[in-house]
Amino acid sequence: MEGEATTSAGPSAKTSRRGAEERCGRRAAAEQALPGRPRPAAGGMSASRGAGRALAALLLAASALSAVLLAPGGSQEPDLDKKRHVELKMDQALLLIHNELLGANLAVYWKSGCCYQCLFQFLVNVSQSGKPGKPSIAVVSVSTQHGSILQVNDTLEKKEVCRLEYKFGEFGNYSLLVKHTYNGVNESACDLVVNKNPVNSNLPISIAFLVGLALIIAISFLRLLLSLYGFNSWISKAINSQETDRLINSELGSLSRADPLSADYQPETQHLSASLHRLRSVDTFRGIALILMVFVNYGGGKYWYFKHSSWNGLTVADLVFPWFVFIMGTSIFLSMTSILQQGCSKFKLLGKIAWRSFLLICIGVVIVNPNYCLGPLSWDKVRIPGVLQRLGVTYFVVAALELLFSNPVPENCTLERSCPSFQDITSSWPQWLFILMLESVWLVLTFLLPIPGCPTGYLGPGGIGDLGKYPNCTGGAAGYIDRLLLGDDHLYQHPSSTVLYHTEVAYDPEGILGTINSIVMAFLGVQAGKILLYYKDQTKVILIRFAAWCCILGLISIALTKVSTNEGFIPINKNLWSISYVTTLSSFAFLILLVLYPVVDVKRLWTGAPFFYPGMNSILVYVGHEVFENYFPFQWKLEDNQSHKEHLTQNIVATALWVLIAYILYRKKIFWKI
């Protein structure tokens, strides 16, 4: 996911890596996964089992329908592209620069409108016009992902002729006319003319959205029919009482054997509830993030908003990993409370926590170092940080912290169903003190650590950013600490900042300093778990607290960022895992729980399908989608490799297949634990 190269303007610009290099870049930076052992399904939901079969069939139908609607068509490459011998790639347009100025050689420069305080990059030279009415023409490709800023200079008189900003469309054909104007004063002017309209590159994703919407409407209509015509009772009668008893006994048996250390486990503590009700909203939340991560990792149709932001700001791809971290924290508290109430010793539990963290780190090192991409690797080139490595360290610190300062849930919370205000916070003041101290360490190192050759407190991308003043300062203190302690060769070599900022130093988005803020985010997830447990069955109280946390964290983000992408005190930045990034994504996480908890767990208006199934088997789906990424039917040869619709079709089908696999494994009660 990190390091997915996009196209830069100019004849010498590098395009997206293809073949093994492209796959290697995606695999080396895969960022979102929440490992853990999924717990057994909720018992006695026979109707939902039948609905699950229908859902699986509809899922396949949606994939097939998407494949038909997004089927590859003819080449969209304009005829002029062939005549001018410029091969357009995805997210590119053709620009013909006409120099009608006699005796003036032009140099054209370019930069992306999203590149903050960037230097202009040379695009092309255009020789002077030989005769009136016969301009010199230069042909280049320009990026269509974001708005472009073009600057035309007269190389002889060394002055700027014109500057313009324009958002080019994919596969469009444009002419930039540089000519004299005679309005009383002999001046030069630039006009942009559209020779051939661009294609609508967002049409495939719009069709896919409509297909998904139609699927949701169809399922809702089916559920309405079942409720209106009594189909539920007919289905229930079809399942004899013996089978129902077997399912319930199976649920009770599996409950007693469930591994409470699994990040997917949700406690069914007999002390708190005698029912078989489970917090399906937590698994649903995890599944949403996981399926989105699979789609993004497989390419997301090659749309820029399904790739990581080059530096400051947020894209869809930037949302997933923090949500996994958040929901992992929620599960840590719920599962640990359950096992401690069953009498397990803290020392034994600490051993399990350490072992599980070690396994996560080991699996992560294997996944981010695929030999088939780069050939056999040597130890001095192995990348050390990674997604699972970050999760393993975060899991160990947060779980050990909760274990060290764990207190039994107050009896008035479990018996009387009432808890004093702020009991969920005041009962864990030692943990809060530790987290605040840890965040202070991040702030001190980030803003006060001296960095050779770089300004103290630098948060920029380096490269051509900041007018090219600090090209080797990518990430400030975060990058410096990683390079100092781990070495350049053990870090990610193609960070997302290379796309717009042309950085040349190694930088790892899963580095050491950012781990501090991932611990903070997991602890905020712990806070959500405490709300769910301390105020169990008090739906109104739970929702009020979720809403309060959502607003508080949102206000902190507003204060830190000044509601600006780049001008705030601490911008939202996934590469740095800045504190504003954590507060913003945690605010979104509480908002999602605010919606999912009453809908899925309280009113049971939605079972969480289909996201619930991959959420129950997250480690298997994550590792599986990485290992089998390049195997059929998850990937096949495309007729047009530069077509968004073909990539989107392939990515949708691959993602749908993993949902189906997760559903089948769920029905077979096959879960991968570590």
Active site residues: 308
Strand partners, 617: none
- Return the structure tokens found at 200: 């609508």
| Cβ atoms of 52 and 609 closer than 8 Å | yes
- Return the structure tokens found at 399: 């779980």
The backbone torsions φ and ψ at residue 192, rounded to the nearest 5 degrees and listed phi first, read -105, 125
Nearest Cα to Cα of residue 525 among 361, 419, 413, 391: 391
Count the residues in the chain: 674
Nearest Cα to Cα of residue 334 among 595, 36, 548, 541: 36
Nearest Cα to Cα of residue 640 among 94, 202, 77, 143: 77
Classify residue 274 as exposed, middle or buried by CB count within 10 Å of its CB (0-12, 13-18, 19+). exposed
Amino acid type, 143:
S
| Cβ atoms of 614 and 287 closer than 8 Å | yes
Angstrom distance (rounded) from CA 267 to CA 205: 39
What is residue 458's three-state secondary structure?
coil
Q: How far apart are the first and last CA of the chain?
A: 25
- Return the structure tokens found at 171: 């596969």
Angstrom distance (rounded) from CA 113 to CA 116: 8
What lies within 8 Å, CB to CB, of 621 at 6+ separation is 290, 294, 614, 658, 661, 662
What is residue 378's three-state secondary structure?
coil
